[in-house]
Structure 1
């Protein structure tokens, strides 16, 4: 039998987002006059998280998860990166980053260039 004092990390990771379904379920049960403690026990989620989601819903009338950090590399930047690498694939990540900084004004580093190229399927 699982008790309410179970370690939070066992139930939910620190950076794991709740699904839209669980958020909606919390709001529905709140509207049906269930207490935060009851909702917490039914979904096996800490009461502080349930309370935070209900409070956010009352203020914003939305249950959307956090937006996260915006990407530095836009679609246009990705297209330019791909065309740069397609023209000459022997360039280093540092030289590609400098080229993109001068051509389109993106403030990106070699690490981001390397990560984006890896995501596009360019290895090595």
Structure 2
């Protein structure tokens, strides 16, 4: 972002896109894109990407970890049902497996 702010700063000083590109050693298309984004949105901040948000909240992850530590012989299906009764999360067994794998719990 430091480059983007320098890019905008140079533009406000009436420098051309070619001069800014040469000064900052970045492509002209990048300079042009940053200036266009700044003009349209008023900022050069990165917006959140599209896609479905995570189903598991931080509370759900803590409950999942607690459930697995308490009884490690449970199946993914029974863990999903336990999470549904404990904190009201409607998650699938695949999500449970994926989250456990991400936490480093295998098998």
TM-score with structure 2 length normalisation? 0.67
Residue-pair matches, total? 103
Aligned positions of 1:3-82 closer than 5 A: 20-36=1-17, 39=20, 42-44=25-27, 47=29, 49-68=30-49, 69=51, 70-82=53-65
Considering only aligned residues, what root-mean-square deviation do their CA atoms show, in Å? 2.7
Q: Can you give the 5+ residue segments of structure 1 that lack an aligned partner in the other structure?
A: 1-19
* Equivalent-residue separation in structure 1 for 2:43 and 2:96 (angstroms): 35
Partners of 2:33 and 2:81 in 1: how far apart?
Answer: 44
Name the larger-Rg structure: 2
Q: Greater helix percent: which structure? A: 2
Other structure's SS at 1:43 match: coil
Give the TM-score taking structure 1 as reference length: 0.61
- Aligned-partner Cα distance in 2 for 1:38–1:111: 53
Q: Distance in 1 between matches of 2:86 and 2:92?
A: 14
